[in-house]
Amino acid sequence: MKKAIYPGSFDPITNGHLDIIKRAAGMFDELYVGILINSAKNPLFSMEERVSMIEEVLAEYPNIKVVSFDGLLVDYCKAQNISVIIRGLRAVTDFDYELQIAQTNRVMDPNIDTIFLATSLEYSYLSSSIVKEISAYGGDISKTVPKTIEKRVHQKRSSQILQRPTVSETP
Ligand code: PNS
């Protein structure tokens, strides 16, 4: 049984991620979508929220498993008998970062390979950060994420606005 993992922060998952996931799921017996902590990022959604959002949009794919974990990706792969890591490449600007991660993972575990899938052209501009940026200013994100995710992003933004401390008018 050939297993692969598509790891990422998915904060939130976008149509570009889903494009890669659906294509990769057709190439392997089982595809894990691994939600990980990227220490360089400050997430909008909690890990539990991201898991439930992704499970919801991928519910109809029987060979896709949504998982979350802490620690090194290669350690998780080894424990689960996963030998392939999938990453998407949108443009040449992704390449340096992706190559460095792939080589780092390979130094740590030479039994695990990274395969890059070229993002479909219509999603080459898209990232989770772009989705968050548009929504932060009340823009339309309907072309960037599925309907259910769009709803969750709007709910999150509204709850953030409600939680914002009110500024006292008198000094
Ligand atoms: O979607 P992202 O934020 O580009 O994904 C990056 C991610 C989460 C795949 C990467 O940060 C990662 O693999 N983190 C887990 C820790 C790890 O294994 N680090 C070693 C590779 S640098």
* Residue 147 alpha carbon to ligand 1 centre in Å: 27
Ligand 1, pocket residues at CB < 6 Å: 7-9, 36, 38, 41, 72-73, 101, 104-105
What are the phi and psi torsion angles at 16 (to 5°)? -65, -45
Tell me the mean pLDDT in the region 81-95.
Answer: 95
pTM higher than 0.85: yes
In single-letter form, the type of residue at position 64 comes to: I
Report the pLDDT value the prediction gives residue 116, as an integer from 0 to 100. 97
Sorted by where each begins, the domain ranges of the chain are: 3-125
Q: How far apart are CA 35 and CA 50, in angstroms?
A: 8
Give DSSP secondary structure letters for 61-95. -TTEEEEEE-S-HHHHHHHHT--EEEEEE-SHHHH
For 13-65, the pLDDT digits (tens) are: 999 999 999 999 999 999 999 999 888 888 999 999 999 999 999 999 999 99
Into which CATH architecture does domain 3-125 fall? 3-Layer(aba) Sandwich (3.40)
